[in-house]
Amino acid sequence: MSTTTATRTSAPAPAPAKRAATGEGRIGLRANLRHIGALARRNALQIKQDPESMFDAVMMPIIFILLFVYVFGGAMAGKGNQAAYVNYLTPGLMAMMGMNIAMAVGVGINDDFKKGVMDRFRTMPIARSSVLIAKIIVEVGRMMVATAILLGMGFLLGLEIHTSVLHLLAAIGLSMVFGASLMWIFILLGLTLKTAQAVQGMAMLVLMPLQFGSSIFAMPTTMPGWLKTFTDYNPLSNLADAARNLVNGGPVAHSVWMTLGWAALITVVTAPLAVAKFRKKT
């Protein structure tokens, strides 16, 4: 008598690495954080190899504070009394630094796609959001450098802290949070528009009304009614007022909560759109 042994064959399950490479499966939090750290290090090394990319973060705060203090300071606070204007202007310029650094993020993302760098990242087994988050982390670092230089120049020109160092650190932290939220807008622009020149042009259309139609440079009380209304709802005015009152003293609750609310709203709306656009961009 003979016996036959039947064997069953089944298709092998796809390997985890293959699933990840094709965008299937789910990347864990620990792996995601590791990818963000590696990509942030890569972006930081790029800055080290190209120090000229820090030119805007280093020179912008110096040029802006000198220009506005000595051009507008006399008119705002009286001739020879520019030091009083320094305490009004410097906290407001912290908000302006975030806007200008954020614009550079969109241009950089657009340029990376032109070079094919982002296409390579999208073939790797990493979360798509980690590429963009790593970019934001490094740009927040550049924003901190710009803010430190701005405050250093402010102290040289007569800036005084009328509250405490903790209040100053809170103003800096608030500026970083809001600046990081703005970066999602410009990342979305960088992923949507075809050229870096188009990103810069669109960014200027956004930047100019928000910066100069705000309380950064002058008190809104002298503005016409329609412009004052725009200024009151301008998120940069809320940030400038919050930072100014944290440094000089004054009520901060309303402006701080408004700034945090704007930052949360901008991030919730634009971050998912930016990640989705990053996945689909060709």
Rg (C-alpha) for the chain, rounded Å, is 24
Share of the chain above pLDDT 70, in %: 87
Q: How far apart are CA 11 and CA 147, in angstroms?
A: 58
Percentage helix, strand, coil, to 5, in the chain?
Answer: 80, 0, 20
User: Which of 161, 166, 158 lies closest to 248 in space, CA to CA?
Assistant: 161
pLDDT for position 282: 63
* Average pLDDT of span 209-221: 86
Query: Token pair for residue 132?
Result: 């963009």
Q: How far apart are CA 242 and CA 175, in angstroms?
A: 9
Does 10 score more than 60 pLDDT? no
List Cα–Cα distances, 82 to 22, 52, 98, 121, 149, in angstroms.
60, 32, 24, 50, 19
pTM score: 0.82
Residue 268 or residue 96, greater confidence: 268
User: What DSSP designation does 116 have?
Assistant: T
Residue 264 or residue 9, greater confidence: 264
Do 187 and 281 form a contact (C-beta atoms < 8 A)?
no
Reported as a single tens digit per residue, the pLDDT across 86-144 is 999 999 898 888 888 888 888 888 887 777 777 777 777 777 788 888 889 999 999 99
Which positions ≥6 away from 2 have C-beta within 8 Å? none
Which pLDDT band holds residue 148 (cuts at 50, 70, 90)? very high
Does 182 score more than 50 pLDDT? yes
User: Which of 98, 97, 79, 77 lies closest to 87 in space, CA to CA?
Assistant: 77
Does 151 score more than 90 pLDDT? yes
Do 84 and 129 form a contact (C-beta atoms < 8 A)?
no
Q: How far apart are CA 210 and CA 234, in angstroms?
A: 7
Which pLDDT band holds residue 80 (cuts at 50, 70, 90)? low
Which pLDDT band holds residue 55 (cuts at 50, 70, 90)? confident
